[in-house]
Structure 1
Amino acid sequence: MTTLTHTHASQTAAKTLRAHQLIIDERIVFVEDWGDIDATPLLAIHTAGQSGVQYRHVAADLAARGYRVIVPDLPGHGRTEPAKDGPVTDLGEYAQFALTVLDQLGIDRFVAVGCSIGGKITIDLAVRAGDRIIAAIAMAAGSRPGHVSLRGLRRELVDISTPSRGDRTYWGTRAVVGSAIDDDQRDLIARMHCREDPIVSNSDLIGWGSHDVTDGLPGVTCPTVLVAGEDDLWIDADAIRRDAEAIPRGTFVLLPGIGHYPMEEMTDFAETVDAWVRDADLQIEETEAALS
């Protein structure tokens, strides 16, 4: 039987932050590395145009629950240099990039957590990485090419007259944050998102609109949780539910009052993710017991 390393990190270890500058394809890659180095690795993948800073409020909490939290900035995002061949429009390239990061850190098995394009990358990893993944948690994403929401676009018409991309990002982000979030937090999330590079963001969204790993879902071997926010205007929750049903050990979760950014909106994010992973651990143990 496979034994998974899942320890309770001390508060000191949980607050330990290591920063790595890796060299991948002749480019400097920035990675945050939280918690006990011997704990269960948890790869956290950010959304389109953003960076690992989206996990700033939850990384230490996840580490305190027994994870080594690996938070890379994707190429051209945050403190990672742009990709050698220009902005990435294929989310599969990001998935391979994530595996290269883990390889350079000497990490084999891991939990994957991602949101939006990070959620699509997580599903891609579940398809391509096989037994390396302990559990996959994909938020605000499905396996099929993403599409725009007419309701969301109508909500954004409030700022259509402005030529500022920053304003469009600000108001567009506010529109897809859930109703459970107070206005101060909604404003903070939107202001932080205004740091994006428009060219990189648009390239990410091209990837969002063209990435499709639907045919690989039946072959996913790890427990997989597909998560949708009830107030998320950018995704089709029913389509995500169907994706979960196509995965042998897939589970669908609908989060009331939450929008497109659970890791930035949920006050109990670390606790909830930990519960999902522990349920995955139980599924693995039960499967292995049945096979032994």
Structure 2
Amino acid sequence: MTRQTPSSAEYLDIDERPGFVATFGQGRPIVCIHTAGQSGLQWRDAIEGLVAEGYQVVVPDLPGHGHSEEPVSGPVTDLGYYGDWIIRLIEILELDQPYVVGCSIGGKIALDIAVKYSARLSGVIAMAADAQNDGQNERSLRRNLEDTVSPSRTDRTYYGTLAACGSAVPEELRQRIAARHRREDPQVALSDLIGWARHDVGSKLSAIVCPTRLVVGGDDFWLDPESVERTAAGIPGARYSILPGIGHYPMEELPDIAQRLSEWLLDLTVDGTSTDSADVSRISDSAC
């Protein structure tokens, strides 16, 4: 794939700590939010195609991830903090009516931002996320924090990522995604998952006024697709898509992720004023 050079890569002073953001291209801005413990690298395969479609792609590393420093208070266990951090980033960069796209905790963060800030957004795409606390055991996650320095933790991340990829993903790509993910900081990643376990904006979905689509992989064992569909049904005019053969990381698993995102973004633009109930669109295995 052709290398996409950022038009800017900078550290922004947010909450007294440097936060890293790379920006690619020109046009309507899209802020892309990564998953637990990871970095903006996860969006690598989407950038070139989105830039070619005339978007400005804004890829931050959340606090404590990638090139961004941890907050003064240490690893974050409140996804609402990340939501506020992204809103602050949008304001510092003076992004005009951006789209926000996120996956996993990034999807929950995107919904959090939409609840707080949707009047200033062009639309939101939340992948591999719903709006509620799904009953994950925060106590067991905190117990894992005591074991984060052992080599077995990186192995669990590696093999867990292999299992979390969908059945339509070629083995070579599964291995590459898993190798990328095992580089995460365990303290940060587990704190992110505690944030996932706590986060719940289900009672606030009616406050989202921007066009919204929720997307979930058919092989995503972290989520019940019905829960994602219920979240979409709670947002006025929201759309819902399920991806057969895809797991928890659509932006890394889908070979045509830029095209898919472009289609979903266009759909938000064309039908953004719709007030119909959630539209379930199922994408065929052959497209994966």
Structure 2 distance, partners of 1:148, 1:17, is 40
Partner in structure 1 of residue 160 of structure 2: 172
Contact 1:147–1:234 (Cα < 8 Å) also in 2:
no
- The equivalences for 1:187-266 within 5 A come to 187-266=175-254
Structure 1 gaps of 5+ residues are 1-10, 150-161, 288-292
Counting matched residue pairs gives 262
Q: 2:261 aligns with which of 273, 286, 289?
A: 273
**Structure 2 equivalent of residue 103 of structure 1:** 91
Which of residues 39, 51, 59 in structure 1 aligns to 2:39?
Answer: 51
Q: Distance in 1 between matches of 2:79 and 2:273?
A: 32
CA distance in 1: counterparts of 2:232 and 2:33, whole angstroms: 20
Query: How is 1:1-292 mapped onto 2 (pairs within 5 angstroms)?
Result: 15-36=5-26, 39-148=27-136, 164-284=152-272
Deviation digits for residues 219-242 of structure 1 (CA, Å, limit 9, x no counterpart) = 211111111100011011101101
TM-score, normalised to structure 1's length? 0.86
Report the 3-state secondary structure (helix = DSSP H, G, I; strand = E; otherwise coil) of the residue aligned with 1:69. strand
> Partner residue of 1:154?
none
Compute the displacement of 1:148 (Å): 4.8
Deviation at 1:129, TM superposition (A): 0.3
Cα deviation 1:68-115 (Å, max 9, x = unaligned): 111100000000001111111110000010011111111131101000
Change (3 A) 1:285 1:216: closer
SS at match of 1:82: coil
User: What's the CA shift for 1:40?
Assistant: 0.4
CA distance in 2, matches of 1:211, 1:285: 28
Report the alpha carbon displacement of residue 16 of structure 1 after superposing the two structures with TM: 4.4
C-alpha displacement of 1:284: 3.6
Native 8 Å contact 1:148 1:234 kept in 2: no
- Secondary structure of 1:57's partner? helix
**Residue by residue, what CA displacement relative to the aligned partner does 1:99-139 show, whole Å, maximum 9, x if unpaired?**
11111111131101000000000111111102111111000
Kept in 2, the 8 Å contact 1:244–1:250? The answer is yes
Distance 1:286 1:261, change over 3 A: closer
- Structure 2: stretches of 5+ with no match in the other structure: 138-149, 276-288
How big is the shift at 1:61? 1.4
Give the whole-Å Cα distance in 2 for the aligned partners of 1:269 and 1:170.
23
Overall identity of the aligned pairs, in %: 47
Amino acid at match of 1:242: R
State how far apart, in whole Å, the 2-side matches of 1:42 and 1:176 are.
26
User: SS in structure 2 opposite 1:129?
Assistant: helix
Q: How far has the Cα of 1:285 moved from its partner? A: 6.1
Q: Distance in 1 between matches of 2:191 and 2:274?
A: 42
CA contact (8 A) 2:237 2:273 kept: no
CA distance in 1, matches of 2:54, 2:178: 30
How far, CA to CA, are the matches of 2:105 and 2:76 in structure 1? Answer: 12
> One-letter code of the match for 2:17?
R
**Structure 1 residue 164, shift from structure 2 partner:** 1.4
Give the letter aligned to residue 25 of structure 1.
Answer: D
d(CA) in 1 for partners of 2:207 and 2:95? Answer: 23
Q: TM-score, normalised by structure 2?
A: 0.87
